[in-house]
Amino acid sequence: MNMKKQKVAHIVWNYLPKSNEFVYNQITQCKYFSPVVLCERFYPESLNTPVIHYMYSNPKTPRGIWHRGTRRWRPTWHAGWFEKQALKSGCSLIHAHFGVMGAILAAAERKPALPLVVSFYGKDASADFRNQKEIYMKLFEIADRIIVQGEKIKERFVLAGCDSSRISVWDIGIDLLQFPYIPRDVMSKTVKFLVAARFVEKKGYFVLLRAFKRLLGHYPDIELTIIGFGHLENKIRTFISLNGIEDKVGIIISSEQADFYSVFTPLLQNHHIFVLSAVQAGDGDEDGLPVVIQNAQASGMPVISTPVGAISNAIIHRQTGLLAEEGSVDSLVEMMNYLITNRSEWNHLGSNARLHAEKHFALGRQIQRLEDIYEDVLT
C-alpha cells in the first residue's frame, strides 16, 4: 500500500447522530488516509474529528433554513458545494456515506472531479432505491465504487443495471475489545431475551411481542428487555399493556441515554438471548446488517433473527445463530422455544458467533479492507 497519506472527503448528511458510530469509525480509524468531513448539518456535541466543513449547525437559523431549502429545489448547488470543499481541502477521493448522499452528487448529472465511493447501509439500499431508482441509476454511472453489505444487495443492484465490477461487498467493523466474550449462565432460573432496535416497522416488534406472549403461557420465567426509540413507542406500549405482559417486558428509551453503549453493553453481559425479528416494511425499507447483531455475537450471546437484508452475513443457521422465517410468529416461537429448552446451545452458538465476528467483523481488519478499496479506486 502507498505509505503517503492521502485525504478522503467523507460526505454525510448530519454529523454525527449517536446511531452512526460505525461511520465515525470509518472516518477516524484509517491508517493511510486522512479524513475531511463534509456535512450539511453539524452537531456541536459530535465526537471529535480533525477537519469538518459544514453548512449549518442550527436548522432554525436563516442559514439553516436556506440550506435545507436548497437541498430540495437546488440539489446541484449542494453537489457543487461538497465537491468544491473536497478539492479545496486537497482530497484525493470522495466517500459518500449512505446512498442519499451519493444521490445528491448524482443530481449534478456529471461525474465529480474526484473518484467517488458510495456506501449503502440499509434503507438507502432498499426503500430509497426502489422509490428513487432513476436518480440511483445516475449514481451507478458516475460512482467509481459502490460498497454494499451483502451479496443479496449486490445482486439487487446488478439486476438494476449496475456494473458488478464496481460493487464491493464489505461488512461494518466493530471493536471486539468493547464486547468481551462472556459465556451464558445456563443454570439461570430466568431466561432473559434482549432486543435493541429503533421502534420502526422493519424491526418486527409486533412479531416478537406476539411470539413472546405465546411463550409466556408455557414458560412464566422468561423476560424481555427492549431498548430503542421511535414513532411506534406508544403502539408498542399499548400492545404490552393490552396483553398484560408489563411485568415481563422492560423498555429502555435509548434516546434518553447520554451514551447508548453505556447502557447496551451491560445488557449484553447479563442477558441470555438476543432476538431481532427483522422484516421488510410496507414501503420496502429493510435492514442491512444491524450492528447490534454483530455486537451481540461478539459478546458470545446466541442470536435469533431473520434472513432479511445482509443478516445472513452474520447468522449461519444453527452454526452462529438461528434464523426464523421473516414475519412468522410461529417460526419465531419455534426458534425461541428451541433455545429455552436447549440451553447447551447457548454457548455453542455463542462461541461460534464470537469466532465468526473475529474472522469477519474485527474493526482493524475491516478498516484495512476499506483502505484497500480506496487504493484500488485510486490506481
pTM of structure: 0.92
C-alpha 175/C-alpha 324 separation (Å) is 27
219-241 tens-digit pLDDT: 999 999 999 999 999 999 999 99
Strand, helix or coil for residue 256: helix
C-alpha 132/C-alpha 123 separation (Å) is 12
| Overall average pLDDT of the 127-132 stretch | 92
186-224 tens-digit pLDDT: 999 999 999 999 999 999 999 999 999 999 999 999 999
| Overall average pLDDT of the 271-300 stretch | 97
| Overall average pLDDT of the 5-19 stretch | 88
Q: DSSP code of 47?
A: P
35-48 tens-digit pLDDT: 999 988 887 665 66
Q: Quick check: 65 pLDDT over 80?
A: no
Are the CB atoms for 101 and 81 separated by under 8 Å? no
Are the CB atoms for 296 and 265 separated by under 8 Å? no
C-alpha 194/C-alpha 51 separation (Å) is 38
Are the CB atoms for 193 and 212 separated by under 8 Å? yes
229-281 tens-digit pLDDT: 999 999 999 999 999 999 999 999 998 988 899 999 999 999 999 999 999 99
Strand, helix or coil for residue 222: strand
Cross-strand pairs, 228: 253
Are the CB atoms for 223 and 248 separated by under 8 Å? yes
| Overall average pLDDT of the 56-72 stretch | 72
Q: Are 6-173+362-378 and 176-360 the same fold in CATH? A: yes
At residue 47, the pLDDT reads 60
Residue with the larger pLDDT of the pair 290 and 74: 290
C-alpha 45/C-alpha 114 separation (Å) is 30
Local confidence band at 71 (pLDDT 50, 70, 90 cut-offs): low
Question: Could you tell me whether strands 93-97 and 6-15 are parallel, antiparallel, or unpaired per DSSP bridges?
Answer: parallel
144-200 tens-digit pLDDT: 999 999 999 999 999 999 999 999 999 999 999 999 999 999 999 999 999 999 999
At residue 59, the pLDDT reads 75
Average pLDDT of the chain is 93
At residue 77, the pLDDT reads 80
At residue 48, the pLDDT reads 66
Does the domain spanning 6-173+362-378 belong to CATH 3.40.50.2000?
yes
C-alpha 150/C-alpha 99 separation (Å) is 15
Phi first, then psi, for residue 233 (nearest 5°) are -55, -50
Contacts of 223 (CB under 8 A, 6+ apart): 190, 191, 192, 193, 248, 249, 250
Q: Where are the domains of the chain?
A: 6-173+362-378, 176-360
C-alpha 351/C-alpha 241 separation (Å) is 36
Phi first, then psi, for residue 40 (nearest 5°) are -75, -55
At residue 73, the pLDDT reads 60
| Overall average pLDDT of the 97-104 stretch | 93
Cell triple for 243: 396483553
> In this structure, which topology does domain 176-360 adopt according to CATH?
Rossmann fold (3.40.50)
The amino acid occupying position 98 is: F
At residue 49, the pLDDT reads 62
Are the CB atoms for 25 and 32 separated by under 8 Å? no
